Structure 1
């Protein structure tokens, strides 16, 4: 594993996440080979790439056409991974599908290739169970849109080699990402466990008729979501403690943890009634926009926030500044 620069990657599974990986890789000059049995894969890859170009244009980071990595869509996994340094697996979140796919990748990829699963929930030790060379499997969990959001959670399994993790982290950094080394295996890693907590509480608020989907989204995007986007949770609460800092904040609000403010230990039944309610409210909220238009609106908003954070040398803006330095 002596190679330090990423030049060739394979993407196995080309849905929203896989196509997002392809876009980020190619915009950083990496040649990509891809494989997906879906007849819609090519269309999705092209649509996501177009959105990524627009977003990078918003960031003033759009590369020259000749510096964009090539894309080769292959007829099989074996063909796609044959010469890859990094293989990104983004197939559906079913353990049987992932095991079958990863086993095929493991048997066909070069011995020194790093295999990175985009899984949002499975632990790498579980994913690596059927593999002959589990030492090169990691979890590299990104966030949608992969070409714009810098975070990637990097998780090692019980048999993952430290060198594979270090190599992947170096590569992710070269792609303008913020690799977060997760120090212990846990189902759903870090970020998804936090998002799941908010999601479960939101389901109860809709189920109990307390709020609609739009009202819940407004509570986030007009309020604490803006604080979280640039400072996270603990730093935000430290400020809420005033001059006394976090200790004062906990002294003020710690007692709230014993109050009945949450139903996180319980979940409403996702029966047809609740699903219909959520789907109907969501259609009323955003159904007048197609998904590609919503993606473009999202990407312009995220790009604008990243630029603001870059101007203040803060948070995720630092990844944009580092990308700009590399491009100069």
Structure 2
């Protein structure tokens, strides 16, 4: 099996929220995309999404050759993957569906074409059992929504995924400016969703116990630690939390109290009654704003943060060059 294939054409399977966002990103990076989805009206919905996302992608910077005209759509799976250098699969989160799909893809594609799944929770070891011919080229490439704006992608192989496939996937995602992180082992939900899940559990518990409202818990997050998390992760912030003594001093000071606090964290049960309480709280927080308005607010602030981080990175790099 050769692994020297240059990735210039992407096959997108499934053009829902994630697949459409991937499509917009790949086009913005100068790649050709052939998308497929059997849902009625899928092509029109996809093209509408890409058109709407394009101004944000222009603002972040288009790659040479970037064009919406590089998108082709077909309802035929075999036609969609013909000539593909990489497949980004975004099908339903059903193991039986994915195993059947991977059997089809495995039989249709040359052995050097990577099949990457956007699956948010299924393990590749289970998915790739459907690909009997070349399971070694199957890998998880899980993005965070919306993929055309959020840089994170989690890369993790299954039991039969080759090391070279993982390396090629990492290289590809990094080449299109994704922040690719490699997981050394499979876990249900991968990593980022597990982190979100741990936080969501405590959020729901606090609202369930009437500690504060849905709006106030959102403020506590987004105007407190959330601002810092948009700049640095937990470990780096712990290092800063230790002052001049860094991470060593942080653990000397806080390891005991922090460990003790974990015992008081909640484990709410999402009963119909609690779900209604949470839903009512969210609608009270939302007020008259539409989902589209909230998405626009999220994306505009996110774009500003991305631009600021890019500017900081470029300035830091320039300073390093000048210091040499």
Secondary structure of 2:35 counterpart? strand
**Given that residues 30 and 69 in structure 1 are in contact (C-alpha distance below 8 angstroms), is that contact kept between their aligned partners in structure 2?**
no
Distance 1:17 1:58 in 2: 21
- Give the direction of change, closer, same or farther, for the CA distance of 1:102–1:33 in structure 2 (3 Å limit): same
Q: Residues 233-287 of structure 1: CA distance to partner in whole angstroms, max 9, x if unpaired?
A: 01111111111111111111111234245666x6322222112222222222225
Query: More displaced, 233-242 or 97-106?
Result: 97-106
State the match for 2:172 in structure 1: 171
Structure-to-structure mapping, 1:248-267, within 5 angstroms: 248-261=249-262, 267=267
Secondary structure of 2:230 counterpart? helix
- Give the direction of change, closer, same or farther, for the CA distance of 1:237–1:54 in structure 2 (3 Å limit): same
**Given that residues 5 and 85 in structure 2 are in contact (C-alpha distance below 8 angstroms), is that contact kept between their aligned partners in structure 1?**
no
Distance 2:214 2:17 in 1: 23
Secondary structure of 2:293 counterpart? helix
Tell me by how many angstroms 1:24 deviates: 0.6
Distance 1:259 1:3 in 2: 52
Secondary structure of 1:283 counterpart? helix
**Given that residues 89 and 102 in structure 1 are in contact (C-alpha distance below 8 angstroms), is that contact kept between their aligned partners in structure 2?**
no
**Given that residues 5 and 171 in structure 1 are in contact (C-alpha distance below 8 angstroms), is that contact kept between their aligned partners in structure 2?**
no
Instruction: Give the total of aligned pairs.
Output: 315
Tell me by how many angstroms 1:53 deviates: 1.2
Distance 1:299 1:73 in 2: 27
TM-score, normalised via structure 2 length? 0.89
State the match for 1:151 in structure 2: 152
**Given that residues 28 and 68 in structure 1 are in contact (C-alpha distance below 8 angstroms), is that contact kept between their aligned partners in structure 2?**
no
State the match for 2:43 in structure 1: 42
Query: More displaced, 165-174 or 301-310?
Result: 165-174
State the match for 2:244 in structure 1: 243
State the match for 1:10 in structure 2: 11
Distance 1:100 1:209 in 2: 46
- Which structure 1 segments of 5+ residues have no match? 322-328
Distance 1:258 1:208 in 2: 22
1:94 is aligned to 2:94: yes
**Given that residues 201 and 263 in structure 1 are in contact (C-alpha distance below 8 angstroms), is that contact kept between their aligned partners in structure 2?**
no
Secondary structure of 1:187 counterpart? coil
Distance 1:63 1:296 in 2: 24
- Give the direction of change, closer, same or farther, for the CA distance of 1:119–1:263 in structure 2 (3 Å limit): farther
Tell me by how many angstroms 1:145 deviates: 1.1
TM-score, normalised via structure 1 length? 0.88
Distance 2:114 2:295 in 1: 30
**Given that residues 50 and 68 in structure 2 are in contact (C-alpha distance below 8 angstroms), is that contact kept between their aligned partners in structure 1?**
no
State the match for 1:197 in structure 2: 198
Structure showing greater relative contact order (alpha-carbon pairs closer than 8 Å, 6 or more residues apart) = 1
State the match for 2:290 in structure 1: 290
Tell me by how many angstroms 1:66 deviates: 6.4
**Given that residues 25 and 69 in structure 1 are in contact (C-alpha distance below 8 angstroms), is that contact kept between their aligned partners in structure 2?**
no
State the match for 1:324 in structure 2: none
State the match for 1:58 in structure 2: 59
State the match for 1:326 in structure 2: none
Q: Residues 178-214 of structure 1: CA distance to partner in whole angstroms, max 9, x if unpaired?
A: 2111122222222111111001111111221222222
State the match for 2:34 in structure 1: 33
State the match for 2:82 in structure 1: 82
State the match for 2:321 in structure 1: none
- Which structure 2 segments of 5+ residues have no match? 319-324
